[in-house]
Amino acid sequence: MIEGLPALYIFMLSAFTGYEVISRVPVILHTPLMSGSNFVHGIVLVGAMIVMGSAEGALELTIGFIAVAMAAGNAVGGYVATVRMLEMFQTKPRVSAKDAGGASS
């Protein structure tokens, strides 16, 4: 069971991690990254499955069904969209990808 202070610690450390991870992303990758993080919260699928598994009665089952379908859509859609965007960056000839810092030359 995660609760009380340890739960707060997890929350705080994860928050800092997210902040640090994204702070070094070049503007060029912002849209793919937003799409990528959109995919990551598709992990809600796991929770939706657990809730639907223990659903009882028509109402709970219906809401659970909606939860699972939407969560699956979030995960799959987020993944495909991100990959499609990133593939565009990949197919390019990497002539001078290293010296992007001196791009003003």
Partner 1 sequence: MSASFINFGINAVYFITAAVFIIGLKQMSSPVTAHRGIVWAGIAMVVASLATFGAPQISLEVSSINLQLMIVAIVAGSTVAYISAKRVAMTDMPQMIAMYNGMGGGAAAAIAAVELVKLSSGAESHGLTIQILAVLGAVIGAVSFSGSAVAFAKLQGIMKKTLRLPLHQVINIGLFVAVCVFGYFVATGEPVVFEHVMIFFALAIVLGVMVTLPIGGADMPVVISLFNALTGLAVAFEGFVLNNAAMIIAGTVVGSSGTLLTQLMAKAMNRPISNVLFSSFGSDGGAAAEEEIEGSMKEIQANDAAIMMAYGQKVIIVPGYGMAVAQAQHKLKEMGDLLEARGIDVKYAIHPVAGRMPGHMNVLLAEAGVDYDNILDLEEINPEFPTADVALVIGANDVVNPVARTNPDSPIYGMPILDADHAHNVIVIKRGKGAGFSGIENHLFYADNAQMLYGDGKKAVAELIAGIKQL
Considering only residues 6 through 65, tell me which ones interact with partner 1, judged by CB under 8 A: 7, 10-11, 14-19, 21-57, 59-61, 63-65
CB 51 to partner 1: min, Å? 5
How many residues belong to the site for partner 1 (CB under 8 A)?
91
**Closest CB 62 distance from partner 1, rounded Å:** 9
Q: Minimal distance in Å, beta carbon 13 to partner 1?
A: 9
What lies within 8 Å, CB to CB, of 64 at 6+ separation is 48, 51, 52, 55
CB of 80 to partner 1, least distance (A): 4
Question: Among residue numbers 63 through 102, which ones bind partner 1 (CB under 8 A)?
Answer: 63-97, 99-100
